[in-house]
């Protein structure tokens, strides 16, 4: 794994943007743009990322950026990839689609499924802040069980959908989970994805101080807790070979270092969550985690 001192900084993320204080989206973008050395075009639907990008005529990133309609990310990216091929420019840049969990798991899943089935040539990164943040923290298909949102006032009753499993089921060559607060792991995965063709999918956890209800200084802390508690597992599946990576690979040996209750404590979205719900989520996490460890050991 690349060491943190060896991570490149290419300056494509300009100083200052419109995201909330403490938002780790900027960390992630710095890693993604640097891993690709800015030779990319970012395709982005309505989301917090749009807001981060700034308002015309000012942009917060020095990379080509194409905004697109909310449900259309994977289709617009397919069109950009096709257009670059048709005009002989495919080698000039990597097409990177980047959408939120709502834009991916919900309204954009049809276009994503179509593009994955056609094995379109681009990297799709879903940054998962676990709700529709841009429109005021409404539930998404990726909101965790127990979380309060402005459309689940007493806590969401369902578990989140496993978009990684959904995309993997399309038989694409590369899927990976990542976290915005594990920059070395994220860097390696973007580099790995960029080294291949076809549809590559990266699902990136993004702790959100505003929507989850914690102090902006604690974004990295909650991102790490999510991994330590097994709610987020860092892994990749490359050509059918499964492996846990980074911190999650270490946790596969040592056992998980945190509980769901510890993770939830201190996030206001889980305020008042019942013991019963915590136990249910813990059981769900344990189940999922042991399945992933088993896959890691089997390598498939």
Q: Which residues of the chain form contacts with other proteins (CB under 8 A)? A: 38-41, 43, 50-51, 53-59, 61-69, 71-72, 74-87, 89, 92-93, 110-111, 113-114, 117-118
Contacts of 267 (CB under 8 A, 6+ apart): 212, 213, 214, 222
- In angstroms, rounded to a whole number, what is the distance separating the alpha carbons of residues 148 and 145? 9
- In angstroms, rounded to a whole number, what is the distance separating the alpha carbons of residues 94 and 81? 9
Per the CB < 8 A criterion, the answer to whether 9 and 2 are in contact is no
Q: Does 100 bind ligand TPP (CB under 6 A)?
A: yes
* 3-class DSSP state of 21: coil
Q: Does 42 bind ligand TPP (CB under 6 A)?
A: no
With contacts defined by CB under 6 A, name the span among 129-137, 178-186, 195-203, 272-280 that binds ligand TPP: 129-137
Torsion of CA 247, 249, 252, 256, to 10 degrees: 10
Q: Does 125 bind ligand TPP (CB under 6 A)?
A: no
Residue of the chain from 103, 155, 160, 209 that contacts ligand TPP (CB under 6 A): 103
Q: Which residues bind ligand SF4 (CB under 6 A)?
A: 19-20, 23, 25, 48, 129, 133, 206, 208-211
Taken in order 98, 101, 107, 112, is the CA torsion positive or negative?
positive
Q: Does 48 bind ligand TPP (CB under 6 A)?
A: yes
- In angstroms, rounded to a whole number, what is the distance separating the alpha carbons of residues 131 and 114? 23
The nearer residue to Mg ion, 26 or 102, going by C-beta atoms, is: 102
User: Closest separation between CB of residue 64 and ligand SF4, Å?
Assistant: 22
With contacts defined by CB under 6 A, name the span among 13-21, 132-140, 224-232, 272-280 that binds ligand TPP: 132-140
> What DSSP letter does each residue of 82-134 carry, written as one string?
HHHHHTT-GGG-EEEEEEEHIIIIITTHHHHHHHHHTT-SSEEEEEE-SSBTT
Q: Which residues bind Mg ion (CB under 5 A)?
A: 100-102, 129, 133
Q: Does 289 bind ligand TPP (CB under 6 A)?
A: no
Residue of the chain from 46, 81, 109, 163 that contacts ligand TPP (CB under 6 A): 46
Residues binding ligand TPP (CB under 6 A) = 46-48, 70-71, 99-103, 129, 132-135, 140
């Amino acid at each position: 794994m690349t060491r943190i001192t060896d991570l490149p900084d290419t300056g494509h993320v300009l100083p200052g943007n419109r995201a909330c204080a403490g938002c780790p989206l900027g960390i992630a973008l710095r890693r993604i743009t640097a891993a690709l050395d800015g030779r990319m075009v970012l395709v982005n639907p309505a989301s917090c990322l749009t807001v981060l990008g700034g308002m015309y005529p000012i942009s917060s990133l020095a990379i080509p950026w194409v905004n697109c309609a909310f449900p259309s990310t994977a289709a617009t990216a397919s069109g950009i990839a096709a257009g670059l091929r048709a005009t002989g420019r495919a080698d000039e840049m990597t097409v990177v689609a980047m959408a939120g969990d709502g834009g991916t798991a919900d309204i954009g899943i049809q276009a994503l499924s179509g593009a994955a089935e056609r094995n379109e040539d681009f990297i799709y990164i879903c940054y998962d802040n676990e709700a529709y943040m841009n429109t005021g923290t409404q539930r998404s298909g990726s909101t965790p069980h127990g979380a309060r949102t402005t459309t689940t006032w007493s806590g969401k009753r369902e578990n989140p959908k496993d978009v990684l499993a959904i995309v993997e089921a399309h038989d694409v060559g590369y899927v990976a989970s990542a976290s915005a607060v594990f920059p070395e792991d994220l860097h390696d995965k973007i580099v790995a994805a960029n080294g291949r063709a076809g549809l590559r999918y990266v699902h990136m956890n993004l702790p959100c101080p505003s929507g989850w209800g914690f102090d902006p200084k604690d974004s990295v802390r909650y991102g790490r807790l999510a991994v330590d508690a097994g709610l987020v597992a860092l892994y990749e599946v490359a050509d059918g070979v499964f492996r846990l990576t980074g911190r999650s690979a270490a946790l596969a040996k040592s056992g998980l270092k945190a509980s769901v209750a510890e993770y939830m404590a201190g996030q206001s979205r889980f305020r008042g969550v019942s013991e019963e719900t915590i136990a249910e989520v813990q059981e769900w996490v344990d189940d999922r985690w042991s399945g992933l460890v088993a896959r890691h050991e089997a390598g498939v």
